[in-house]
Amino acid sequence: MPLSFKHLTSTKQLLRRDTDAILQTAAEMEKVLLKGGNDLLAGKILASLFYEPSTRTRLSFETAMRRLGGEVISAEGIQFSSLYKGETVEDTMKVVGSYADIITMRHPEQGSADRAASVCPVPFINAGDGPGQHPTQALLDLFTIHKERGTIDGLKIAMAGDLRYGRTVHSLTFLLGLYKNLRFTFISPKELTMPDKVTTFLKEHDIPYEETHALSAGLVSDVLYMTRVQEERFADHSEYERLKDMYRLDAKMLKGKEVTVMHPLPRVGEIATDVDALKTAAYFRQAKNGVPVRMALLAMLLQAI
C-alpha cells in the first residue's frame, strides 16, 4: 500500500492506514534481516545528514539502507558542513537532493524539517528537529509496543522524565492518538511537564490523561516510557543539575510488575543497570527495532514495494 505522504516530518501527518502498513512491512523486513538483507534498493543512495549528535538513529538509518542493497553518503556536524558557512537548509536540500534518491536529516532547530521538506526534490525524512518531532523514533516505539504487548488499542501508557523537551514522547503521543481507548499518565517535575501542544491535542481528541510527580504511578501501566533529562536543552545548567536525578527506576521497584519498560536511549542514570536483565525491559529490543522500521520506510518512500 502506498503511503499518504512523500516526506515524513511529523507523526501528526500519519493516518492509521499508514501506521498499519509500516508495521506490517517492518515485520516483513525482520525476515529480510534474518537472511542477511537483499538488493531491493540497489542503485539507490541515501543522504544521511546529521547536524546534531546521534548514534542509534544515524547508524540504524545507514544500516537499513545497506541491508537493502543501497548506498549511503553522509555529513555529520554543522561545523563540517556548508551550513557553518551560512548556507540555508533550503539550499542544502536542493543541492543534496540532486545527489541522492532520499534524504534523512537531524538538525538542532525546531521547524527545520518542514523547511527542508518544502523544497526537497526527493523524499525527505525528519530524523529529529531540535525539541520538535522525531517521527521514525515514534514509529519504532509503536512497533515495539505492538511486539511486546500484542496490541496497541486499549493500553495504559505512562511517560516519565523530561516531557517538556522530549521530542520522542511528543511524537509518540501524537501517533498513539490514532489508536482506541488509550489512557496516558505523564510523570514529571513541574518544570518539565508535557507542553500544551500535546495536552491540547489529547483534549481535542477526547483522550484521557493525568499528570503526576510520582514515578510509582507508572508501575501500574502497561508501558512505562522513561526519558532522560536533556542537558543540551537547558540554557541554565544549574537547573539541569537540579532536575537530572529526579527519577531513577531500579529492579526492586519493578518486582512483581508486568509493565513494559521502554527508553529511547541514551540513558544517563534514570534506569539502573539491574533492570536490564528483566524480561519486561524492552529498551535494547526497542533500539534494535529501528533497523526494520527504517528499512520499511526507505523502501516504501522510494516506492520499491
Q: What is the pLDDT of residues 215-254, one digit of tens each?
A: 999 999 999 999 987 655 555 656 656 665 678 999 999 9
State yes or no: is 17 an active-site residue: no
Does the pLDDT of residue 9 top 90, yes or no? Answer: yes
Q: What is the pLDDT of residues 17-29, one digit of tens each?
A: 999 999 999 999 9
**DSSP bridge pairs for 170:** none
State yes or no: is 136 an active-site residue: no
Q: Which amino acid is at 234?
A: F
- Contacts for 229 with CB less than 8 Å, ≥ 6 apart: 161, 162, 192, 240, 243, 244, 246, 268, 270
Range among 1-15, 141-155, 159-173 rated most confident: 141-155
pTM for the model: 0.92
The catalytic position among 31, 35, 85, 252 is: 85
DSSP tag of 249:
B
Grid cell listed for 192: 518539565
Predicted pLDDT at 75 = 87
Predicted pLDDT at 166 = 87
How far apart CA 118 and CA 120 sit, in angstroms, is: 6
How far apart CA 5 and CA 115 sit, in angstroms, is: 16
Length of the chain: 305
In Å, how far are 101, 138, 247, 288 from 303, measured between CA atoms? Answer: 11, 22, 43, 24
The catalytic position among 9, 11, 19, 57 is: 57
The model's confidence at residue 265, banded by pLDDT at 50, 70 and 90, is: very high
How far apart CA 105 and CA 244 sit, in angstroms, is: 28
DSSP tag of 101:
S
Does the pLDDT of residue 11 top 60, yes or no? Answer: yes
Residue 110 burial (CB count, 10 A): 14
Predicted pLDDT at 29 = 98
User: How would you list the strands of the sheet with 209-212, edge to edge?
Assistant: 209-212, 183-187, 156-160, 223-226, 260-262
Task: Kindly state the average pLDDT of the residues 129-135.
Answer: 89
Q: What is the pLDDT of residues 168-212, one digit of tens each?
A: 999 999 999 999 999 999 999 888 899 999 999 999 999 999 999
The model's confidence at residue 152, banded by pLDDT at 50, 70 and 90, is: very high
Does the pLDDT of residue 1 top 90, yes or no? Answer: no
The catalytic position among 67, 107, 134, 294 is: 134
How far apart CA 279 and CA 67 sit, in angstroms, is: 28
The CATH homologous superfamily for domain 135-287 is: Aspartate/ornithine carbamoyltransferase (3.40.50.1370)
Residue 113 near residue 44, CB atoms below 8 Å:
no
Closest listed residue to residue 44, CA positions, set 105, 113, 123, 106: 123
Task: Kindly report which listed range (226-230, 231-235, 274-278, 295-299) carries the lowest average pLDDT score.
Answer: 231-235
Residue 23 near residue 179, CB atoms below 8 Å:
no
State yes or no: is 237 an active-site residue: no
Q: Which amino acid is at 258?
A: E
Percent of all residues in the chain with a pLDDT value above 90, rounded to a whole number: 81
In Å, how far are 64, 145, 160 from 59, measured between CA atoms? Answer: 8, 22, 26
State yes or no: is 149 an active-site residue: no
The catalytic position among 44, 67, 106, 263 is: 106
How far apart CA 64 and CA 94 sit, in angstroms, is: 24
State yes or no: is 134 an active-site residue: yes
Percent of all residues in the chain with a pLDDT value above 70, rounded to a whole number: 91
CATH architecture of the region 37-133: 3-Layer(aba) Sandwich (3.40)
The domain locations on the chain are 37-133, 135-287
